[in-house]
Chain A
Amino acid sequence: MNFDFSDEQKQMRDAARKFLTEKCPPKAVREVLDGKATYDKALWTGLAEMGFLGVAIPEEFGGAGAGHLELCVIAEEMGRALAPVPFASTVYLAAEALLLAGSDAQKQKWLPKIASGEAIGTLALFEGKGNPSPQAIKLSASGGTLNGVKKPVPDGAIADFAIVAARTGSTGRDADISLFLVDLKAGGVEVRSLTNIDPTHGQAELTFKNCKAEPLGAAGDGWSILTQVLDRAAVLVAFEQVGGSDRALEMGRDYALDRIAFGRPIGSFQAVKHILADMYVSATLARSNCYYGAWALSTNASELPEAAAAARISATQAFQHCSKNNIQVHGGMGFTWEFDCHMYYRRANATAVTLGSLSYWEDQLIDRMRKKNAA
């Protein structure tokens, strides 16, 4: 057994941290937060140059061909730095869907562009309130054209292409759903930006009107591909959440050491110490669950569905817990725009719902454990 990242992977993590510390300081995140840019283009280019965008994309498609463990360590750093770039939508959702279900031509067309930073991709799944479910997909596909509305679509306003989940049947079964690939720059799609609690990651509404689309994967396979994509993304986003949790914990700890009240560092009060100890506990539980998710992801293990749900739940809880209590430890300062605490709080609560809510994943986890148990 070796339940740890390798030394090379850890070196990659250090490289990513160094790069992001330099290229993605809070000041850069704030450019997007304050609406001065839709995402950090320079950072995006830099990530491509570092080879991070294509780290898990095979060499034949222009990537580094390293693997998913490498992607996990980078994801953690992206979350830690709150990188305001469409990394999750492009790399965890679009690229993973292409890798799982794309034709050779589709992979040849899009994956190299993802790796080089030329193309931003996303997944258009949701149609308003609710969680992932085949019943909720109403957008229709017939004769290679799509009609319907998707919302929210992560990074939908800046994406070049989208993987779109569409209804191609009405039997009430999973096989009613198929996936399509849409070149968003080719017309037929109206884009409207949506405000959301975390402006560092845009959300959009995409309206498809007789929009040309090519199938991705076999007809009727859509739901089964989506489930796999969501599981894979759940692990990767969980690493971002763990990175964010750790950073929030460190911020709280540092502030507690520096801030004096009643003549002593506030970190010497047990009320504060215990808040921070509990943050450490939840961050540690999440990290360990994520490592297991990373293993399952990288080996395509049959345990992945269960491991992904556990990582997702644990990391969501940890990030929510750490980011809110980081504000608490900062007192009034924590409630200012100027301090970075709220950026983590916003990110934590936004990522808590983007792939489907905590309740949804709780339900999924027990379903999956139960199936395994019965088998």
Chain B
Amino acid sequence: MNFDDTPQEAAFRAEAKAWIAANAPKQYEDELRKSSLGRTALRDANILEVAKVWQKKKADAGWACLHWPKEYGGRGSSPIERVIWQQEEGPFGKLSGIFIIGHGMCGPTMMAFAGEAEKKKYLPPLASGEKVWCQLFSEPAGGSDVAGLRTRAEKKGDDWIINGQKIWTSGAHYSDYGILLTRTDPNVAKHKGLTMFFLDMKSPGVDIRPIKQASGQSDFNEVYFTDVKIPDSQRLGAVNDGWNVSLTTLMNERMSIGAGVSTGFPELFDFCNSLMLDDGPAIEDRNVRSRLANYAVKASGLKYTSMRAISALSKGDRPGPENSIGKLVAGSMVQEVAMYALDLQGAAGALSGPEDAEIAGKFQAMLLRAPGTRVEGGTDEIMRNIIAERVLGLPGDIRVDKDVPFNKIPTNGRA
């Protein structure tokens, strides 16, 4: 057991470090370092623009999507090299936020199901950040229950015509492409009538409406489709096999290791180290310490859990199921951390303006963003079901809609 780099890894790390030192946008380093969940914005620049420039620079030098094959815009790196890169990229990695969906989910799905020509055409600009992708799965009728979706795709000649609505689509408003899950056959059981596509978000008939979030920001959208045309060549996987294709996407989402789920702990620890309470430094208060210690061991537990997975990957093994705990633990933790930080601020804890609030309202922003973490990409309850069923081998829920034709499933709880 050791944390040492092998000679090759050390050489790789040195190269990465040197390149970053020479190329990273250092003027934003401080701001990025201080940014946290719910608050990744730059004061004097558009973060989207800055991120695109950084991503392009990385791509030009071979540092984008490291683990992808070279011909699709990557570097053909090993998993461990990717982790080393992330460690070295440090706070500049926060700039990749807007590409995570494309790199983590859309890209791998394209890689697995698109034709060779499409891969060559679409993946390199996705890797370089020139094109941003979004994921159009959730609908008003189904988020946890994605397979309950209702957006229709009907075949017309060589094309498909899309009608319906998606919701919660992060980044749709600045995306160029999207992967889209649709219903192609409503007369069969719900998992059996789905088909996956990708599409140009500028296609006629696509209407994007930002949703104002509970946090006050607008990162996600409703997306309406009215007779939107998609050529059959943009179909991913077989007709009616969309459920299997989507599982690849979601699996990639959950396997994306070292994605650094935010726990809020480093921020809280820093805060407590400098905060003065009425009877002395917060960090000397037994109650504060007890709380901090509890959060500390969760944060370190997550960190070392992901290191175990990375180790497995670097030995060419499949990582165990441990990593599935990450978002579940981090989601409620970041929420509790934020609440406790507000508590420590006393009556001023409710102030959120960057000028008035403690450390520029960082924890207030975190508090308001945290509920989203416990919902997006699988709610806490769905994550617990996944652990219980796939890891512990407990029976699945009783499914009342399993063998029922989709159009016979009830749509309202209180009929």
Q: In the bound complex, how far is the Cα of B83 from the Cα of A2, in angstroms?
A: 13
Answer whether residue A81 sits at the interface, using C-beta atoms and an 8 A cutoff: no
Question: Interface of chain B, helix or strand or loop or mixed?
Answer: helix
Asked whether, in the complex, the Cβ of A284 is within 8 Å of the Cβ of B388, the reply is no
Residue of A nearest to B389 (CB): A273
| A273 neighbours in B (Cβ, 8 Å) | 384-385, 388-389, 394
Chain A residue nearest in CB terms to B395: A268
Residue B314 at the chain A interface, CB threshold 8 Å: yes
A197 CB within 8 Å of chain B: no
Interface size on B, residues (CB 8 A): 51
Q: Chain B contacts of A365 at CB under 8 A? A: 293, 296-297
A181-237 contacts to B, CB under 8 A, are: none
Contacts of A291 in B (CB 8 A): 1, 304, 308
Q: In the complex the two chains form, what is the Cα distance from A295 to B1 in whole Å?
A: 6
Interface string of B373-404 (1 = CB under 8 A from A): 00000000101110111011111111000000
A287 to B305, CA, bound (A): 8
Question: Are the CB atoms of A288 and B392 closer together than 8 Å?
Answer: no
Chain A residues 250 to 275 lying within 8 A of chain B, measured CB to CB, are: 253, 256-257, 264-265, 267-268, 270, 272-274
Shortest Cβ distance from residue A362 to the other chain B in the assembled complex, whole angstroms = 3
Contacts A1-B310, A256-B394: A280 and B304 contacting too (C-beta < 8 A)? no
What is the 8 Å Cβ interface bit string for chain B, positions 310-353, against chain A (1 contact, 0 not)? 11101100000010010011000000000000000000000000
Inter-chain contact count A-B, CB under 8 Å? 162
Determine if B302 is an interface residue (Cβ-Cβ < 8 Å): yes
Interface residue A91 (Cβ < 8 Å from any Cβ of B): no
Any B CB within 8 A of the CB of A74: no
Q: Which residues 265-311 of A have a CB within 8 angstroms of B?
A: 265, 267-268, 270, 272-274, 276-278, 280-281, 284-289, 291-292, 294-295, 298-299, 309-310
CA A1 – CA B396 in complex, angstroms?
Answer: 37
A280-B325, A285-B325, A291-B308 in contact; A1/B80 too (CB < 8 A)? yes
Q: Does B17 belong to the interface (CB within 8 Å)?
A: no
A239 proximal to B (CB < 8 A): no
Given contacts A285-B325, A288-B304, A310-B300, contact A2 B311 (CB under 8 A): yes
Asked if B289 is an interface residue, CB under 8 A from chain A, the answer is: yes
Q: Mark B105-139, 1 if CB is under 8 A from A, else 0.
A: 00000000000000000000000000000000000
> Could you tell me if A284 and B385 are in contact, using CB atoms closer than 8 angstroms?
no
Can you list 11 A-B contacts (CB < 8 A)? A1-B310, A1-B314, A4-B308, A274-B381, A277-B388, A292-B304, A295-B2, A314-B297, A361-B293, A362-B289, A362-B293
B residues adjacent to A (C-beta < 8 A): 1-5, 9, 80, 269, 273, 283, 286, 289-290, 292-294, 296-298, 300-305, 307-308, 310-312, 314-315, 322, 325, 328-329, 381, 383-385, 387-389, 391-398
Beyond the given pairs A4-B1, A267-B394, 10 more chain A to chain B contacts, judged by CB atoms under 8 angstroms and listed by A's residue number, are A1-B4, A1-B307, A2-B2, A253-B392, A276-B392, A294-B1, A314-B301, A362-B292, A362-B293, A370-B283
